[in-house]
Amino acid sequence: MIRNARMEDIKTIYDLLNHYSDKGLLLGRSLSSLYDQLRDFKVCEEKHPETGIVQVAGVCALHVCWENLAEIRSLAVHEAFHETGIGTKLIKACLHEAEEFGITRVFTLTYQPGFFQKNFFRPINKNELPHKVWSDCINCPKFPDCNEEALIWEKSNYAKL
């Protein structure tokens, strides 16, 4: 079940994102930034395959950046739920929300470009993104030597999802 994140999810989201951040697979987020951006996040709840306990199995955020441009960020799926389609479901939920806002262009900066390409994102040169996008990058420990790849989804591809 995919739903909007709630206050009680923040520490779980924080732990999940930092688990992958520690592995160098995504950028971690501070607790403060998660509370500030709670409304951006969606979570997927599923029963754990071994324990049967319902838990947050994945998380993803849609961050509105500019007129007609949003970013999918902080996509993470608990390792017990890999290869179950949760990541794709979370992306689709965020893209659907973007469409509801009238946003037709959604980008991501990622270390996993192949996954996003399977979900109808295409590579884009980072220089094509507005400077406003880089406001988060200035605070990143990898700035200015970022090795994330930029990809973009445009509404014309939505029917293919």
pLDDT for position 121: 94
Alpha-carbon gap, residue 133 to 129, rounded angstroms? 7
Mean pLDDT along residues 141-152: 73
pLDDT for position 127: 77
Domain locations along the chain: 2-160
Q: Tell me the average pLDDT of the chain.
A: 87
pLDDT for position 25: 87
Alpha-carbon gap, residue 126 to 158, rounded angstroms? 22
Residues 98 and 62 sit within 8 Å (Cβ to Cβ): yes
pLDDT for position 108: 93
Alpha-carbon gap, residue 127 to 139, rounded angstroms? 18
Mean pLDDT along residues 147-152: 87
Could you tell me the two tokens for 86? 């949760």
What is the per-residue pLDDT across 70-128, written as a single tens digit (0 to 9) for each?
999 999 999 989 989 999 999 999 999 999 999 999 999 998 999 999 999 999 988 77
User: Does the domain at residues 2-160 carry the CATH identifier 3.40.630.30?
Assistant: yes
Q: Residue 29 is which amino acid?
A: R
pLDDT at 147 over 90: no
Residues 120 and 92 sit within 8 Å (Cβ to Cβ): no
